[in-house]
Amino acid sequence: MNVRTVSELDALMARLAEGDRVAFTRVFELLWGPIQKLCLSLLRNEADAADAGQEAMHKILERASDFDKTRPAMPWALAIAGWECRTLARRRERRRESHTDAIPSCAGPHAEEEFLQRDLTTAAMAALGELSELDREVLIATFWDEAASVSGATLRKRRERALDRLRKTFRRLYGLD
Amino acid sequence: MGSTDIQLLQRRVRRTYELARLRRALVGVLPIVVVTAIATLLASRPAPPLTFGLATALMGAMMLWHGRDPQKAFLPGVIAGLVPLALALGTGALHTCGTANCSSLCLPACVLGGVIAGMAVSGVSFQRRAGPWFWVSASGLALLTGAMGCACMGTSGVVGLGMGFGAGIVPGLLRRVFGQKAS
């Protein structure tokens, strides 16, 4: 990030703090890249970095009205993002620890069922990974009940085709439907 | 992350920004709520101060949420409006009696308070070289705050406040107009 961009961000952030909504999109664009980079370097995992980056953007823009105009905007934003990454890393670590602790208690009548379910989910995720970006988007949007980029008959057709491809990939990888 | 996802994230973040501003605005108008409660308790008829108080709080919240000039006009507007409000509430119980009848001092207090508030708003606007939105916002908020007390005389009190306020801002407006022409 060069000097001109840094001073542009400072000026835009000051305007946004005063309530000038015109500055919003540019502030978002200027912050998103460096925050993603920071999160990726701290967490070393793309999915976690994306989660932390999104959360950080929410926190930064939530506090935008409190931004101190006398301070540089980028270090302030990166400090919030860094904190968010650390919080997420700690949370994941804690979850992993509790998961490891919980394994012995799973050894009951449902343990085998649970392991099978987990294996199936992993297999489905692997098959999903073999599909194109478009197919993935359609299937994920269907699963999470989210709005896809298209709707109506086009979406139905795409979904049908994506499911067919997923079925074929699954059969090719694991020999079953 | 695809461009659709980024747009979605941007929309969500924008919503967060607006909600945070709204929260701040609602906290910012709490002093107006307190002033409204005091005015309602002191007034002989509680309905008018309550109505004007709610309108003031609503307008104040909108100004703080919007930001820029209206946000900067919030404090000067409220402080200027407190003058006619205090004068009206202070003189609410007083009245002068002549040989034929008694008259309340509320109306003169409102006119005088309006003049002072108008002068204060125009003085601050001139000092800050503020734009028209600052004038409009500060004046609106000052009038609504003052009207909480001036409603003691019904419509005539509020009209008196408005006339006094109008008279108060005239010198400032003239100074601004002629000052701009001279420069």
pLDDT in tens, B4-60: 788 899 999 999 999 999 999 999 999 999 999 999 998 878 888 999 999 999 999
Say if residue A123's pLDDT is above 90.
no
Say if residue A120's pLDDT is above 70.
no
The Cα of A65 is separated from the nearest Cα of chain B by a number of Å equal to 7
Whether A51 contacts A8, CB under 8 Å = no
Q: Which of A4-13, A71-80, A123-132, B112-121 has the lowest mean pLDDT?
A: A123-132
Neighbours of A4 (CB within 10 A): 8
Q: How far apart are CA B20 and CA A57, in angstroms?
A: 13
pLDDT in tens, A70-117: 888 988 999 999 999 988 888 888 877 776 666 555 455 566 666 666
Give pLDDT, residue A107: 52
pLDDT in tens, B101-112: 656 678 888 999
Asked if the Cβ–Cβ distance from B9 to A57 is below 8 Å, we say yes
pLDDT in tens, B135-177: 999 999 999 999 998 887 788 889 999 999 999 988 888 887 7
Where helices occur in B29-67 by DSSP H, the ranges are 30-42, 47-66
Q: Does A69 touch chain B (CB under 8 A)?
A: no
Sign of CA dihedral B46, B84, B177, B130: negative
Q: Does A123 touch chain B (CB under 8 A)?
A: no
Q: Which of A18-22, A138-142, B86-90, B97-101 has the lowest mean pLDDT?
A: B97-101
Q: Which residue has the higher pLDDT, A155 or B132?
A: B132
The pLDDT-based confidence of B89 (bands split at 50, 70, 90) is confident
Q: Is B183 helix (H, G, I), strand (E, B) or coil?
A: coil
How confident is the model over B85-98, as a mean pLDDT? 75
Q: How many residues does chain B have?
A: 183
Q: Does A18 touch chain B (CB under 8 A)?
A: yes
Q: How far apart are CA B157 and CA B88, in angstroms?
A: 9
Among candidates B30, B166, B147, B169, which has minimal Cα distance to B82? B147
Asked if the Cβ–Cβ distance from B20 to A62 is below 8 Å, we say yes
Q: Does A47 touch chain B (CB under 8 A)?
A: no
Give pLDDT, residue B134: 93
Asked if the Cβ–Cβ distance from A57 to B13 is below 8 Å, we say yes
Say if residue A146's pLDDT is above 60.
no
Give pLDDT, residue A157: 84
Residue of A nearest to B7 (CA): A25
Residue of A nearest to B19 (CA): A62
Give pLDDT, residue A150: 66
Whether A31 contacts A9, CB under 8 Å = yes
Which residue(s) pair with B104 in the sheet?
A: B95
Asked if the Cβ–Cβ distance from B68 to A65 is below 8 Å, we say no
Say if residue A127's pLDDT is above 80.
no
